[in-house]
Amino acid sequence: MRKLSLIVISAVMAVFSYMPLANAGNSAWLPAPGGGSVSLSLIYQNAEEFYAGDTKTKGPLAEDDLTQKTALVGIKYGLMDSVALDLTVGGSEASKPGAGPKASEDESGVTDINVGVTVRLVDEAVTQAPTIAFRLGAIKSGSYDTGHINSIGDGGDGMEASAIIGKFLSDNFAVSGELGYRMRDEGIPNAAFVNITGSLIFADMFGLSVNYSMENSTDGIDIGGPPEQNPAFHTDDPSIKNFPEAEEDTHTLGSTLTFLVGGGASISGSYARVIDGRNTGEYNIFAVSLGYSF
């Protein structure tokens, strides 16, 4: 039962952790040495409104929604008993909203690459304490243009570190949390992030998870407004704005339903929504993920 529960929760965390703006973070439960998982996540997100500073507005989204389609591959591998490696990379395309000068209608490219190593410090299988792990990740910027409202990323390299805790309260119910800090170059503000997830497994083949995620930039500029009112947001090129330097804060709530197909394979469907934020889109996020644990 515990093995099935770990497979389901791994699938749930895979979907969430690859969802833009809905990062449920990383799992404290690591794959066995030589084992791991592979996931393909297809993600669609759209926003009819966005936050300029902390004021919600339609702005250039009055004519068309801001939409983004992303395909991400995630790999996790158990290097040894208490150490696991992970890799995430993919491609994305974001549509141009109805207003504003732009060199092209859509933005597309390779997403940022995230590579990490997670070390388990405490294992609940051998102690009554929760499982505790520490993850260190490296971020390599993808290939895309920056400075537009529909850019698929901020274009910075950097690193992130987080502490992760998880506990099975029963054979079919687990809770986990992550607290981390991310630093990138190119003037992108540093950010703290928190992820809290509760997962329920039932009938030995279904998993239901609810997740809350928060990301808070430590500083940065607000987006929007004319040059005379907000000069820091504007550049000499009227088609390019300083979006990467924005103080972007997000609060996201989501859920995932996972079905174990058999033989370690799983399929998951997710929905998440940005419920509050600053300098970000009020996104609805949908995802389908195919996973395989070995």
Question: What CATH code is carried by the domain that includes residue 203?
Answer: 2.40.160.40
Q: Does residue 100 have a pLDDT over 60?
A: no
What average pLDDT does range 164-191 have in this prediction? 93
- Are the CB atoms for 186 and 244 separated by under 8 Å? yes
Output the pLDDT for position 147: 87
User: pLDDT tens digits for 23-51?
Assistant: 446 888 898 899 998 989 999 999 988 89
The reported pLDDT for the residue numbered 262 is 81
- Mention every residue, 6+ apart, whose C-beta is less than 8 A from residue 69: 42, 43, 44, 92, 93, 94
The rounded percent of the chain whose pLDDT value lies above 90 is 53
List all residues 6 or more positions away from 36 whose beta carbon is below 8 Å from its beta carbon. 75, 76, 77, 78, 84, 293, 294
* 184 has a pLDDT exceeding 50: yes
**So what's the pLDDT on residue 165?**
96
What local confidence, expressed as pLDDT, does residue 167 receive?
92
Work out the average pLDDT over 111-119: 95
Distance between CA atoms of residues 237 and 129, nearest Å:
56
- SS3 (DSSP) at 76: strand
Using pLDDT thresholds of 50, 70 and 90, give the confidence band for residue 57: confident
The count of structural domains within the chain is 1
**Gyration radius of the chain's alpha carbons:** 19
At residue 10, the pLDDT reads 55
List the domain range (segments joined by +) for residue 135: 2-293
In sequence order, the 6+-apart residues with CB closer than 8 A to the CB of 243 are 146, 147, 148, 149, 151, 154, 223
Distance between CA atoms of residues 293 and 31, nearest Å = 9
> 54-68, 184-198, 205-219, 259-273 — which one is most confidently predicted on average?
184-198
pLDDT for the residue numbered 105: 66
CA atoms within 13 A on the CB side of 212: 7
- Per-residue confidence band for 103, with pLDDT thresholds at 50, 70 and 90: low
Torsion sign (Cα): 148, 153, 155, 159 = positive
User: Is residue 70 predicted with pLDDT exceeding 90?
Assistant: yes
Percent of the chain whose pLDDT exceeds 70? 87
Q: Backbone phi, then psi, for 18, in 5-degree steps?
A: -100, 0
**Mean pLDDT along residues 117-124:** 95
Name the pTM for this structure: 0.89
Q: Which two tokens stand for residue 172?
A: 């079919």
Across all residues in the chain, what is the average pLDDT? Answer: 86
Distance CA(274)–CA(276), nearest Å, equals 6
Query: Among residues 250, 234, 173, which one has the least CA distance to residue 206?
Result: 173
pLDDT band at 63 (very low <50, low <70, confident <90, very high): low
One-letter amino acid identity for 212?
Answer: Y
Give the bridge partners for 134, in sequence order.
119, 163
Please tell me the predicted confidence (pLDDT) of residue 4: 46
- Please tell me the distance from the alpha carbon of residue 61 to that of residue 100, in angstroms, as a whole number: 10
With beta carbons less than 8 A apart as the criterion, state whether 187 and 244 touch. Answer: yes
